[in-house]
Amino acid sequence: MAQALSELRNLGPVTQAMLIEAGIADADALRAVGAAVAYRRLKFVFGKRVSLNALYAMDAALSGCDWREVPEDRKAALRAEAGG
């Protein structure tokens, strides 16, 4: 059985609902596409409602750390990968 998004650290109920609506239904799907692609999907569907914090939170969720601990160089790489 796939791991629910709610089991991942950093992802609140609003972000979880957005991910599901954007076609990323569980943690395995998020892992498969990666944080940058997931962020681009969220931006496409929800526009300005999605901030860069969502990008950092998804990346941190996949690595198991707190989103506030994502190093600045990693944030810059994520922004470049996400096109933002």
Model confidence over 27-62: pLDDT tens digits? 999 999 999 999 999 999 999 999 999 999 999 999
Q: Mean of the per-residue pLDDT values for the chain?
A: 96
CA distances to 1, 9, 12, 64 from 59, in Å: 22, 10, 14, 9
pTM: 0.93
